[in-house]
Amino acid sequence: MKNDKCLIKIYKKLLRHFGPQYWWPAETPFEVMVGAILTQNTAWPNVEKAIANLKKENVLSLKNMQRLSLKKLARLIRPSGFYNQKAKKLRTFLIFLLNLKQGRINKIRLIKTKDLRKALLEVNGIGQETADSILLYALGRPTFVVDAYTKRIFSRHGIIPPGASYEEIQEIFMSNLPKKIKLYNEYHALIVATGKKYCKKNVPFCKNCPLKLVKRIKNMIY
């Protein structure tokens, strides 16, 4: 079976199992972006606490968050861990957003995804996964998000090489799936659902995993 069929088959299986996820869990694009930074190497429930603090202080917006001192920002996001680092990252990112809006092209819509991604990656604190999460879930661009679960699940099933880089994995998904925002959105969300429930780090396999019956594929095209 070729990769494209295989990846679609897995997607359908997960969708049947979990149902649609309707990601990202946030009320505004700005909240998505903040969440994407706060969730770096952090369990989501801890991010929710930080977000709740920001909402309570009414600073979950570009204008209001910008007014916060670094110290207060750090205090509010404390539950998400790495709070000193993340407070700086958020600040840097706010400046980036402002520049983007004040720039000659003040309509972000008009910037090509590729250029936007490159610009995001130049921001200190924004790596590939965070950039792609922002592009896909906040800005609605067709970019596949690769995270720790994606690597673990798909390498365990022999669909990607264990040591594959971010770009290599992303390329496997993007070149074998239709370039649809909705599909990329749901697929990544389903991967996270699967990882949380069935693909833990110290448990080699789970008998109830919906992917258990997907046949191992030979002659995979990496």
Partner DNA sequence: CACCAGGCAAGTA
Partner DNA sequence: TACTTGCATGGT
The footprint of DNA (CB under 7 A) covers 23-25, 35-36, 39-46, 49, 78-79, 81-86, 123-131, 133, 137, 147-149, 163, 165, 192, 195-196, 200-202
Name the maximum alpha-carbon separation found in the chain.
56
| Amino acid letter, residue 9 | K
Shortest separation between residue 23's beta carbon and DNA, angstroms: 7
The residue among 9 and 49 lying less far from DNA, judged by its C-beta, is 49
Smallest separation, CB 59 to DNA (Å): 18
Distance of closest approach, residue 134 Cβ to DNA, in angstroms? 9
Torsion sign (Cα): 24, 26, 27, 31: negative
Of 74, 76, 36, the residue nearest 52 (C-alpha): 76
Select 201 or 218, whichever has its Cβ closest to DNA.
201
Residue 215 Cβ vs DNA, minimum distance, rounded to whole Å: 26
Q: Round to whole Å and give the CA distance between 129 and 21.
A: 19
Burial class (CB in 10 A: 0-12, 13-18, 19+), 69: exposed
